[in-house]
Each structure stands twice: as structure tokens, then as C-alpha cells.
A and B are shown apart, each in its own frame.
Chain A
Amino acid sequence: MAGALNPVDLLVLVAAHRLGDDAYGVTIQADVSRLQGREVSMAAVYTALERLERRGLLRPWLSDPRPERGGRARRHFAVSASGREHIRRAHADAMRLWEAVPVPPAGKRR
């Protein structure tokens, strides 16, 4: 798994991919929290976004001016081609791994 991302970064990338055009700080944070099963801080999300952006897996773009932000634009993130490639590979790796693993049944060992 070359160039593996740490778990939070991967989740952020995946969330950005799922959200498509609606991917920006607030929505990504909410989605990642949902995927993780616990609340993730906005700072952690932003840190991940920075790293992904630097690796070229995400591309930022600005929306139209938003009135609720005092006329400022909102910063969105789109998954780049290499980002999509990364997701495909990560998915394939994960599926390969779990296919080989027998899932233990719930309850006590016999």
C-alpha cells in the first residue's frame, strides 16, 4: 500500500468524494464524524485537508459569495484525478484484505 494515508486523512478524502460539490469544511466534518462514529474536531479536518491538498489529492475551489458569510465565498474541495485513483486503490486493498479474513461470530468462544 504505497503512499498510504493515515486514517483521518483517508476518511476526509472519502467524505470529500461522497459529498461531491457539497464538500466543504462543515459538511466534511459532519460526514467524517458520522463515518468514524465519534465527533472529529474541525481543526483535525482542516489539518487533513491541508495535507491532502499538498499531496495533490484534493483541489480547493471557491463558491459564489454567501450572504450568511458576510458576502465571502466558501472554500470547497474537489477530489483530483490522483485522489480518485488513491480511493480506488485503497478500496481494492481493503476489499482484498477483508475477503481473506473469516469474520468471527459474536458471543463467547466455545
Chain B
Amino acid sequence: MKPPSLPRRWLSLVAPARIRQDFVDDLDEAFREAARVRGPRAARRWYWWQALGGTVKLFRLHFPDAQPAQTRGWTAATRQDLTYALRQLRRNPGFGLAVATTLAVGLGGVTAVFSVLYGILLRPLPIERPGEVVSLHRTYRDSSRKIPVSGVRFDRWVEANDTFTGMAASTNASLQFLVGGSALKLSAELVSANFFEFLGTTPLHGRLLTSQDETDAGGSVPAVIAESLWRQHFASDSSILGRALVSKDVSLAIVGVVPDAFARWRHPAVLWAPYRLTPALVRPQELARDGYGILYPLARLRPGLTAVTATPIVNALDARVSEAVERKDPRYGVALVPVRDLTTPPSLRRSLWILSAVTVLVLILAAANVASLMLTRAIRRRREFATRLALGAGPGRLTRQLLIEVGVLAVIGGAVGVLFATWTMPVLIALAPAAATASSVIAIDWPVVLFAATMTLGSLVIVALFPLQRARRTDVMSALRWGGSGTWSARPGRAHAFLVTTQTMLATPVIVAAALLVLTVLQLARIDLGFDPRHLVTMQVTLPREGYADGKAATRLRDQLLEQLMAIPKVERAAVGVWPPLRSYGEQAFTAGVSIDVDGVGRYLNGEPSQAAFTPGRQMVSTDYFATVGIPLRAGRSFAPSDVVGAPSVAVVNETLARMYWPGQNPIGKRVRFDWPNPPRQPGDFPWTEVIGVVGDARHYRIDAPARPEIYTALSQYPGAYPWQMLHVRSSGPIDDLAAAMRRAVRTVEPRIPLEEVRTVSDIAADLTATPRYSATLTTVLGVVALVLACGGVYGLGTFAAADRARETGIRVALGATRTRLIRQALARGLGPAVIGLTLGGVAASVAAKQLTGLLYGVEPSNPYVFALSMLILFCIACIAAYVPARRAARTDPMAALRAE
């Protein structure tokens, strides 16, 4: 019978060569005997125990001269080594400081970046089995907009589905309550009653909403609040349960509190209530209408299904439902998004991973730096090692001592690194795009600490390798005789040179990446938006349901609002539009356009992929819009007060549209007609609209994509069209209380309008470039660190080589060698490894740069100038780093050098 092969192979690896065969043979024989006496299973277990349990002892047999392994002796020796290591540190604080600092920066950086990465991308979501949960939304053709689902459609999905093990839905709402005498505006989620059961959340206090709540009618509506709300506004009062929250639309009773981690994930919501029990907020008629989409469903995939494989099944289900409610339209579909991907756009995810990779490179760089420092010291301590060897210490003893010394430094470095990470993390979080960090819990907890410890161990291995090799190969006699230097073989310098090559090789891609990202940010800053975002603010205004169905009332309201806004001091202009000047929200550019019939040219239907480039975006604006937003008028006229209902229908187009439909012609006077294919209308249902003006192109969607064709129509001609409108206010300079003044103005005109956030357009534009700026900033910092470390390595090599050759240099100077010649030779020796590293690094950088493709704008990842410049900078600084010690060495007094040692 044969013993198990894995432990047998392990023994062949671990056992020293001189006893290996005998040992394995003896153990095999014992195994056969054990199999005969105890049975094969027990024998196998016994064999595993022999193999694993004997590992340490077999390993020790490699060092036969080591102290006899008496356990008490072993700990005493370790304690001795530890004391010695600490004493060495005390005697050479500079060295210890340099090493600990370098390791701390490297380890701290990695820990900080990893904690952000973990918090945003990897931390398990605060729900049960988050991998199963997907978010559903409807899509229209190739538009990336997430269209919410209607109540009736969601109900039918739930009834007919067999792809999901559970479904729930939510919609957002903004509620205002009176709490402790002051008005409190809260973001809330109105959810299906099974929402918390579906997610598997546990409450912090009280209970959560259940399906029972929907059937138990009557009385106040149960609601759940977030821990932060409980803390901030109710002082964590334990008698919170049963407390009432009353607003004009709804009366809620708090039944429970959810933990912060959950609330953060559902940011910005802090309150949850069932939508079926709040008819004032979510009307049953609206829920029953398929055209009114308000719900964002979540679902749990059946085991074996993924978002990708479930998509066609769900689309088939949706098509069946569409037929049943008689709203069949093949252009609509359903998309499934894993719930984790909702808060993190792909570009942020990518940049976080790239950032992590760069940080790990810098850590390896730091470790290599430390390794060369330790190597230098190990060589200087030849005499010490030789003495100890001569006095009877085994190589094993030396190994242990060096490992302990390195270990002490690594532990100090690791601990300081974690501290360093704690300090830099708030900075990293502040710089990161707000949307991602608001919904994540980013902290240094056990997974991060575990990671830091692993990295510390890894760097320990790198750092210890070189001096260990050196110490074990110490030739006792020559070391005692010659002490420090002497006739030097090229071999010791090779390790140093290798380290320098490694460092420059690692630094190059980091510096190139930083350069590319910085260029991207510069290019983004130079983009001409087509309008002026400075001192321009926007505020959304939602008309109340009652009293504004009539267009006249809406027009009157608008005029009054504009009047009030113009009365605010320092306000130059005010206007109303439907959409804000920058319409993209993060990565989801609202790209849906309108179908249009261009007289004499053709029809462009929204949603047709072949016509996607031609269908214009549509904006409805008040008369002073273009002047307020800063879009220049190129030809014809803008809207006038005379353009009202009943007057001829007019429109203003942008240059791109004019070029597209009427190339080379004068667009003024041309006619277009808006189209609506679904449900199909007669062509005569819509009036012809005449083009009266042309304005400059403005980037309304993505700032990094060119302007689309846009058509602007006058709000005064479609007064009741949209229930929500965008106020635009331009001021002559920054106004402190503009937001409050605007809200006051709105309140004066119509107190029922809910108060929304006032945003400056410059802020919105800045948000859109948040991710690239974030990546650029951090990579630049890392690039500088990498540069410093790499050049520190070159400097170190130069110093070491110079000290090493002091005697030789002294002789050569005495024999008449010129200073210049010496410097030139020293430079060549010092820079040689750096150049090799640069070359290899350049190759690595060109491979790595391809990974940045999605993050760059206006610059190619293979841009040769960027590469050349980055490598040139690194080379120049390396030259300086090599020159300084070379010059110092050339200045040595030959007599002093010869007399030394």
C-alpha cells in the first residue's frame, strides 16, 4: 500500500538531503506497518501527522550547528536577538527612521487606498446574499436612461414571474415634517411592504415594515427611520417607537430604526414607509396607470441565474405584460443591474482598481529601497558577522537575528503605516466623487488591517532576502582580515544594481500614468461648454397638482417668479427652462431626443438606431433663456413676449442641427414639425414650427462629448407641458445668500412649491470631472513618491559604490587619475542599472497605459511625448542623484582613503 503522495512530496522538500532518502524509506515502512495494524485510513492520518508535525524539526536539521533545541534555550536566544536588534536601532536612529518611514509611507498608502477600495467596491452590502439582488428598470432603445416601472406593470411582473425568488420596489419622495418646532425636510423611500423582508435587514431598534402592514389598514402609517436621523433629531431616545411624524400629506408612526450601514447604502433616504398606505404621495390611480412609471424594482435571482442570463427571460415576461395591458412597444426593454454596480459608475470602479495597482507598485518600490538600505548595512557589518561566526554562531542563528531586525522594522513601519493611513483616509474620501463615498462605509476595520498585515509580511520577505543572502555567504577569514572593503568582487554590487533597476522599472509606469491623467484633467478644463457656467445657479420648481392644469395659471406663475428673482440684488438675469444646462447625472447621460419631421428633408424618429445622430434634444425655455445661460445668438432672433399660444409656432435651433438638416443653407424660415409615433398621431395633429434663430452649440449632456443637435421652443407656447421647471439665475458675482433669497422669492409667489436644492452650474460641471481629477491627483502624488524613492535608490547605490571603492579610488587618484574621469566612471556605474530599469519600465508603462483608456480624455495612452517627457524627468533626476556621491568620491583625499580601515 502506498502512503499519500502530497505529504510524501512535502517531506522530500523539507528534509535535508543527507537523511532524506532514509527518512522517507523509514516512514514508508512504518506506514505499511500502521496500515496493517490500524487500517488504511488511520494509517493515512498517521502519515499526514508525521509529515506536518515533523516539519519544524526537519527544517532545523538543515542547521546542524545550531544550539540544541531545548525550548527554553530557543526563547532565550530570540529574546537576546530582539534586545540586540532594538539596541542597534537605538544606536543608528537615522537608519531606523529612514527604513521605518519608507515602509510606513508605502504600507500606509496601500492601506488607505485599499480601505477606500474595500469600502466602495468590495465590502459586503448590508443585506442578505447581496450577490443575488439585481435592480430592474425599463430601457428605451439604446438610451442609457433608467426608466422607472409603473405600479400595474410591477404587480404583473410579480404575479407572472418565475425567474426571481422575490421582488420588491421603492420610489423616492421628499417629505417635510414638523419636528420639535422646526420644519424638517427628509429624503424618504416609499417601498413595497415586503421591502425589508426581501432584503433581509435586521432592525437596530423596534421592528421593520412587513407585508402584514399592508393588510392591517387603519390608524397611522408605520414608518422606519435611519439611525442617523434617530441620533440627530431624536437624541437616540429609546421611546422613539410610536412617535408620530405628521406632514400635510401623511401621518406616520415610527415603528423601528435601521442601522446606519443600511441607511448609507440607500443614501440619501432616511425614512421608509409603504407606498400603498400613502395615497396622498403615491396615488392609486397613478399606480394603476401603465404610462406613469415611478417604481424602481429590486429582485433576487434564482440560483444558477446571473443578471446577464436572466435578462432575456425578463424581457420576454415584460413583452407578455405589455401585450396584456395593451401597451405593446418593442422599443422598450428591461435591464438588470447587479445592485452593487448602481452606486459606482464603471469609470470610478476602474480608476479605483488602477489606483490600487499603482499603490502596490509604490509599496514594492519602497520595500526595494529598504532592501538596498539593509543590504548596505549588512555589508558594512561583515566584520560583526564574521566575528560571530568565528565564535561559534551558526548561520541559522545569524538568519534568525537578521529576520528579527527586519521584523522589528517592518512591525514599526506597519504600525506607523496604519496610523498614516488613518490620517490620509479623510483626504482620500473628501477628494473622491461624493456619490460613491456617501453610500459606502469606508473605515479601517479588520479586513483592511488583515490586508495591511499581509502586505507587511510580503514586504518583509522582499526586504529580508538580500541581506540574508549576504550574511550567510560571509567568508569569515577575509572579512576579519580586511574588515570593510578590500579587493572587491563585482558580486556584492550586483544585488544593489538589481534593486536600482527594479526601482526605476517600477517608478516609470507610475510617473507615466500620472502624466497621462494630469493631461486629461487639463484637457477637460479647457473644454468650451458653449455657455458660461460662472455665477449661474439653477433650482428645480415643481408646480403643485391643483390649480395649474390650466396653462394660463402656469404662465402667470412663471412671470411672477421671474419678477421676484430679478428683484434680488446683484441678479442680472433670470430665465426658466425645463432641463438644467448640464443634463447628465454622472454617467447616465439623458440621451433621449424627440422625433421630428423636417420639411423637405425627412423624418427622424427617436429611438431608431440609424437616426440616433439626427434626432434632436428638445428644451423649452422662457424668453431670456439664452442671454441668462450665456449661449450666443448666431443668427435671427431669440424668443419674444409676442411668441404666445395662438401666435405662429416658433423654434430656435443650434448650429449643429442647422448644419445637419440644412447644410450650406440659411436655416431661418425653415419649417419643422414635432412627431409622436407612439401612440401614432395624424401628421396634421401638430403645427408646423418655423425656425427663427440659430444659437451656438452648448454641451448639455456629457462635457467630454461634442454637442448634439438641439431645438429650443418657447415655454410660453406650451405653458402646461411640464409640471416641473428649472429656474436659472445669473448674478454679477458670488452672492452669499442667493439660495435663501431664491427660496424666499418662490415662497412669496407660491408657498405650496416644495423647496429644492439650489446648485451652481460650475459645481455640476466640476462633479462631472470629479473622477478623472481624483485619479489624477492621487496618481500624481504617488508618482512623486515613486520618483523620490527611485532616485533615492540611485543615490544609495552611488554612495555605496563610492564607499566601497574608496580605497581603489584613493590609489587611482594617487596614480594621477583626473577627477573628471573618475566622476564619469562613477556616473556610468551608478546610472547603468537605472537606464536598464528605465527601458524595462518604458515597456511596462506602454502595457499599463492601455489600461487607462477609459479614463483619458484628449490624450492617447500611447502618446510618445508623454512617455519621453516622463522618462526624461526620471533620468535627469537620476543623473543628479548619481552625480552627487560621484563628485564626493572624486574629491576623496587619497592618503585618507588608503589609510582607512
By a beta-carbon cutoff of 8 Å, the part of chain A in contact with chain B is: 6, 24-26, 29-30, 41-44, 46-47, 50-51, 54, 68-69, 72, 74-75
Report whether A41 and B53 are in contact in the complex, using a CB–CB cutoff of 8 Å: yes
Q: A73 to nearest B CB, angstroms?
A: 9
Q: Which residue from chain B places its CB closest to the CB of A28 in the assembled complex?
A: B26
Complexed CA–CA distance, A55 and B26 (Å) = 23
Given A26-B30, A29-B30, A54-B64, decide whether A69 and B25 contact each other with a Cβ distance below 8 A: yes
Report whether A47 and B60 are in contact in the complex, using a CB–CB cutoff of 8 Å: yes
Report whether A43 and B30 are in contact in the complex, using a CB–CB cutoff of 8 Å: no
Given A25-B25, A43-B57, 6 more A-B residue pairs with CB atoms under 8 Å apart are A6-B70, A25-B27, A26-B30, A43-B23, A46-B23, A46-B61
- Chain B residues lying within 8 Å of A69, measured Cβ to Cβ, are 25, 29
Within B1-33, the residues touching A (CB, 8 Å) are: 19, 21-23, 25-27, 29-30, 33
Report whether A51 and B68 are in contact in the complex, using a CB–CB cutoff of 8 Å: yes
B50 CB within 8 Å of chain A: yes
Q: Pick the contact of B29: A47, A50, A54, A68 (CB < 8 A).
A: A68
Interface 0/1 of B145-171, CB less than 8 Å to A: 000000000000000000000000000
Report whether A72 and B53 are in contact in the complex, using a CB–CB cutoff of 8 Å: no
Complexed CA–CA distance, A51 and B69 (Å) = 10
Complexed CA–CA distance, A54 and B25 (Å) = 22
B54 CB within 8 Å of chain A: yes
Report whether B53 and A43 are in contact in the complex, using a CB–CB cutoff of 8 Å: yes
Given A26-B30, A51-B68, decide whether A74 and B25 contact each other with a Cβ distance below 8 A: yes
Q: Pick the contact of B50: A42, A50, A74 (CB < 8 A).
A: A42
Report whether B21 and A46 are in contact in the complex, using a CB–CB cutoff of 8 Å: no
Complexed CA–CA distance, A50 and B19 (Å) = 9
Report whether B57 and A41 are in contact in the complex, using a CB–CB cutoff of 8 Å: yes
Q: Which 9 pairs from chain A and chain B are nearest by CB?
A: A43-B54, A25-B26, A43-B57, A75-B22, A41-B54, A26-B29, A26-B30, A26-B26, A47-B57
B interface SS class: helix
Q: A99 to nearest B CB, angstroms?
A: 28
Q: B331 to nearest A CB, angstroms?
A: 74
- Chain B residues lying within 8 Å of A74, measured Cβ to Cβ, are 22, 25
B58 CB within 8 Å of chain A: yes
Q: A75 to nearest B CB, angstroms?
A: 5
Given A26-B29, A43-B58, A44-B57, decide whether A50 and B64 contact each other with a Cβ distance below 8 A: yes
Complexed CA–CA distance, A18 and B27 (Å) = 21
Complexed CA–CA distance, A98 and B162 (Å) = 83
Complexed CA–CA distance, A75 and B18 (Å) = 12
Report whether B70 and A47 are in contact in the complex, using a CB–CB cutoff of 8 Å: no
Q: Which residue from chain A places its CB closest to the CB of B70 in the assembled complex?
A: A6
Report whether B29 and A46 are in contact in the complex, using a CB–CB cutoff of 8 Å: no
- List 20 A-B pairs, Cβ < 8 Å: A6-B68, A25-B26, A25-B30, A26-B26, A26-B30, A29-B30, A30-B30, A41-B57, A42-B54, A43-B50, A43-B58, A44-B54, A46-B23, A46-B58, A47-B57, A47-B61, A47-B69, A69-B25, A74-B22, A74-B25
Complexed CA–CA distance, A91 and B54 (Å) = 30
Q: A34 to nearest B CB, angstroms?
A: 13
Given A6-B70, A26-B29, decide whether A42 and B64 contact each other with a Cβ distance below 8 A: no
- Chain A residues lying within 8 Å of B23, measured Cβ to Cβ, are 25, 42-43, 46
Report whether B33 and A26 are in contact in the complex, using a CB–CB cutoff of 8 Å: yes
Complexed CA–CA distance, A11 and B30 (Å) = 19
Q: A61 to nearest B CB, angstroms?
A: 12
Q: Which residue from chain A places its CB closest to the CB of B22 in the assembled complex?
A: A75
Q: Which residue from chain B places its CB closest to the CB of A6 in the assembled complex?
A: B70
Report whether A42 and B26 are in contact in the complex, using a CB–CB cutoff of 8 Å: yes
Report whether B50 and A41 are in contact in the complex, using a CB–CB cutoff of 8 Å: yes
- Chain A residues lying within 8 Å of B60, measured Cβ to Cβ, are 47
Q: A53 to nearest B CB, angstroms?
A: 10
Interface 0/1 of B816-827, CB less than 8 Å to A: 000000000000
Q: B34 to nearest A CB, angstroms?
A: 10
Given A6-B68, A47-B60, A51-B68, decide whether A72 and B21 contact each other with a Cβ distance below 8 A: yes
Q: B76 to nearest A CB, angstroms?
A: 16
- Chain B residues lying within 8 Å of A72, measured Cβ to Cβ, are 21, 25
- Chain A residues lying within 8 Å of B25, measured Cβ to Cβ, are 25, 69, 72, 74
Q: B214 to nearest A CB, angstroms?
A: 67
Complexed CA–CA distance, A38 and B49 (Å) = 14
Q: Which residue from chain B places its CB closest to the CB of A25 in the assembled complex?
A: B26
